[in-house]
Structure 1
Amino acid sequence: MNFNESLKQATESIQKAERKKAVIVQKIQALRSKKLPESLGILEKELFAKAKPTVLNERIAGVDSGFNGQELFATDLLLVRAIAAVFDYKANILQNSSYHPSGFFFPEPFFSTNALERDEFQCNVSIQRIIREVQTAIETIKKFKPAYCFMDGSLLPQHADKPRANSKVKKSFDLMLEKVQELYSTAAKSKCELVGCVEDSRGNRWRSILEEAFRLEGLEEYHDAVLLNDLLEKGERSFVFSYTKNASEHPILNEFRKEWQNAIFAFYLKPTKFDFPLRVEFLNPEGNALERAEKIAGIVLSQASMHKEYAYPTVLIEADLRAKLKPEEINLVRDKIVDKIGKNAFILRRRDRRPF
């Protein structure tokens, strides 16, 4: 098969998938007036709800990190910079911005000489990044006492972050779980709303609820955000749902203390017309989760609707820009370490130093 034939086949396949999706979306649209069954235990009966933008008069923090992991011949190097941006608003106008630990600092280097397997290395990169992000969030909440603390990504570590039972990074994983739960506790005690914004979600929980509620078929080929992109109007959100159906069977939540196993909820929100829905997760250790969701949706809508083609909270955009590692920073930190301990520990893998 030549290139043109391959291109034609791929194009036809995509077009076929789009036609199929359009039919499914039409079926779901026809259910807008239907109610979700009480037997599912969903907090609200409507499939979709209008979010109302909130006039910002709060202190809002956003935490993100930049990182770079390098597999070397004799050791592994990880560079992490976790930073919090803190914005003070009055009548929707930004009055002041602060940063923790500061507006700029060099990334922290971390070494591992434990002869990690490839999957352990990738897992360790994620674990160390999460630990630094979470610790920064804990310190920020204690120091600045924001009304909201936004985290870039999910409030829960992912299944891929969990190492094998006999892995060399298992202790680091256990420490990460403790740190995440410490963040939950710190936010709850400080009455700070902890919110996770997932930029490009591949979640399926909303879809699975819909399948169970209305016995719909053919949805398994699509992530939540793909379907909701065609279903949600600007400023509209999905119904609120718990993070998982059964926390005791979830690979991460089943290792949490009981007080947090059922404390994470989520919904999808479409802040602008020309961007995909944003998955919003929030911590609800007590009280009415629906009331909290409506309040958070209003704040996220005000924060994430500044650009018509890029719907993301501005405080997280600022944190990302500050945390992102530049190639010259990576090289500078690496060169400084080489000056201290010599080049032998920093020999690149054979595949990374081919002379041709």
Structure 2
Amino acid sequence: MHELLGQLAGIAEKIKHIEGNRQKLGIFLREIAESADIAGDDVLEPKLIYKVIANPLTKARIVGIDGGLSQHAYHGIDLILTRAVATIFDYTDGKLTAVNYWPSAIVTPTLIVISDPYSDEEWAASSSLERQRGEIDTAVNAFKIFNPNLLLLDGSVVPHGNDRPAKGSATVPRYRTVLNSFNALYATAGDRLAGCVEDSRGRRFCEIVGEKILANIKRPIVPELQKILAGTRDTNLLFHMLTVGERTCIFRYAKAEHPILTDLGVENRIFCFYLKTAEFDRPIRVEFYSEPDKAIETAERIASFVLPLCCHSGYGFPVPLIEADVRAKLAERDVSILHDQLVDRVGITPGLLKLRRESRPL
């Protein structure tokens, strides 16, 4: 540990240098934001930055959806525990007047037992797909029951890319079930559906900046800026570029054919933008479903709702989703407790043995 402490000074200087460069790039882009015209292809608007007018929440209902997952692999079976919760926030004259939950404030988790001989990758994908299915089915039911102005998912509005199975994989049936759930949500909620990605690692906006702005500028500083951009994620750049109450231009989820969007049949109906909701936090990525000719109108409406839902200067995430996360969260010990109870009933059988790496005697 002593040796590592000696490296911190050099690492700190490197971080300062990197962030200084990103700030330089953000300031440069902000200066040319009004004059740049980037509309076309995958970008729907000409300017880089747009001001958002917050919805006064005179009479509004917002539903937030999140899910929890606890999983554990044993010698012969795998246990998956999932839970999904909808929080229903009602606002009148800008004030929160009621909070409700569906199906309840404290939801009993769902236990899934997998006895199939999955590979490690299939096991991980199965766990994630089960969690997503629970969340999306809860979202569909909550929308039908409560008819909100906006339904927010904690995360993307499409299935996770890592969960798309290879041809012939044992997880294909689960994946198809999740696709059906997402399509049911699009059909039910339509343009009143959005997803807020808490910690986006995306680079789509940086790619747009590189292709549509830096590639068309003839200045000595551009090669240096391109190098900075190559090592930067969207939220790293936008932290220095946006101020509170601003969003980026709207862009398509993917610039080329995307396998999951193709599987869903929504290639031209998933869009994104970034929104700065808090002074001391990074912008959040907002994804939404819309018909292409209404995407700008839909984005403006969604952004106007999301902005006033983020109340903390250091944590710019919508309150309904924060509450949904608290209600849905599961701990790893939750599934371990169920395993212990199974052992009490069945005895120590090979299928319920813990993996060797978890039960070493020394």
Q: Give the letter aligned to residue 346 of structure 1.
A: L
Q: CA deviation at 1:233?
A: 0.5
Q: CA deviation at 1:23?
A: 3.1
SS at match of 1:58: strand
**In the alignment, is residue 301 of structure 1 matched against residue 300 of structure 2?**
no
Alignment-derived partner of residue 235 in structure 1: 245
**In the alignment, is residue 83 of structure 1 matched against residue 82 of structure 2?**
no
Does the aligned pair in 2 maintain the 1:36–1:42 contact within 8 Å? no
Does the aligned pair in 2 maintain the 1:62–1:315 contact within 8 Å? yes
Does the aligned pair in 1 maintain the 2:39–2:47 contact within 8 Å? no
Alignment-derived partner of residue 42 in structure 1: 43
Q: Distance in 1 between matches of 2:103 and 2:343?
A: 26
Deviation digits for residues 15-37 of structure 1 (CA, Å, limit 9, x no counterpart)? 33223323322332332222324
Does the aligned pair in 1 maintain the 2:75–2:353 contact within 8 Å? yes
1:120-159 correspondence to structure 2 within 5 Å: 120-159=122-161
SS at match of 1:262: coil
Q: Give the letter aligned to residue 212 of structure 2.
A: A
TM-score, normalised via structure 2 length: 0.90
**In the alignment, is residue 22 of structure 1 matched against residue 23 of structure 2?**
yes
**In the alignment, is residue 333 of structure 1 matched against residue 338 of structure 2?**
yes
Does the aligned pair in 2 maintain the 1:40–1:213 contact within 8 Å? no
The 1:10–1:41 alpha-carbon spacing in structure 2 relative to 1, beyond 3 Å, is: closer
Does the aligned pair in 2 maintain the 1:272–1:311 contact within 8 Å? yes
Q: CA deviation at 1:325?
A: 1.4
Alignment-derived partner of residue 254 in structure 2: 244
Alignment-derived partner of residue 261 in structure 2: 253
Q: CA deviation at 1:41?
A: 5.2
Deviation digits for residues 272-322 of structure 1 (CA, Å, limit 9, x no counterpart)? 101110111111136521111111111100111x11111111111111111
The 1:107–1:39 alpha-carbon spacing in structure 2 relative to 1, beyond 3 Å, is: closer
Deviation digits for residues 37-57 of structure 1 (CA, Å, limit 9, x no counterpart)? 444452221110111111112
Q: Comparing 147-156 with 158-167, which one deviates more in the overlay?
A: 158-167
Structure 2: state its 5+ residue gaps.
Answer: 216-221
- Of 221, 244, 247 in structure 1, the residue corresponding to residue 231 of structure 2 is 221
Q: CA deviation at 1:206?
A: 1.1
Identity %: 34
Q: Give the letter aligned to residue 338 of structure 2.
A: V
Q: Distance in 1 between matches of 2:332 and 2:43?
A: 47
Q: Give the letter aligned to residue 15 of structure 2.
A: I
Q: Distance in 2 between matches of 1:171 and 1:41?
A: 32
Q: Comparing 339-348 with 268-277, which one deviates more in the overlay?
A: 339-348
Structure 1: state its 5+ residue gaps.
Answer: none
Q: CA deviation at 1:266?
A: 1.0
The 1:333–1:41 alpha-carbon spacing in structure 2 relative to 1, beyond 3 Å, is: closer
Q: CA deviation at 1:269?
A: 0.6
Q: Comparing 7-16 with 126-135, which one deviates more in the overlay?
A: 7-16
How many residues were matched structurally? 348
Q: CA deviation at 1:4?
A: 4.8
Q: Give the letter aligned to residue 86 of structure 1.
A: I
- Of 97, 101, 104 in structure 2, the residue corresponding to residue 102 of structure 1 is 104
Q: CA deviation at 1:107?
A: 1.2
The 1:245–1:203 alpha-carbon spacing in structure 2 relative to 1, beyond 3 Å, is: same
Alignment-derived partner of residue 195 in structure 2: 196
SS at match of 1:265: strand
1:278-293 correspondence to structure 2 within 5 Å: 278-285=284-291, 287-293=293-299
**Root-mean-square deviation over aligned CA pairs:** 1.9
The 1:127–1:314 alpha-carbon spacing in structure 2 relative to 1, beyond 3 Å, is: same
Q: Give the letter aligned to residue 196 of structure 1.
A: G
Q: Give the letter aligned to residue 241 of structure 2.
A: L
Q: Distance in 1 between matches of 2:92 and 2:212?
A: 43
Q: Distance in 2 between matches of 1:132 and 1:342?
A: 31
Q: Give the letter aligned to residue 129 of structure 2.
A: I
The 1:52–1:331 alpha-carbon spacing in structure 2 relative to 1, beyond 3 Å, is: same
Structure 1 runs of 4+ with >4 Å offset: none
Q: Distance in 2 between matches of 1:251 and 1:354?
A: 42
TM-score, normalised via structure 1 length: 0.92
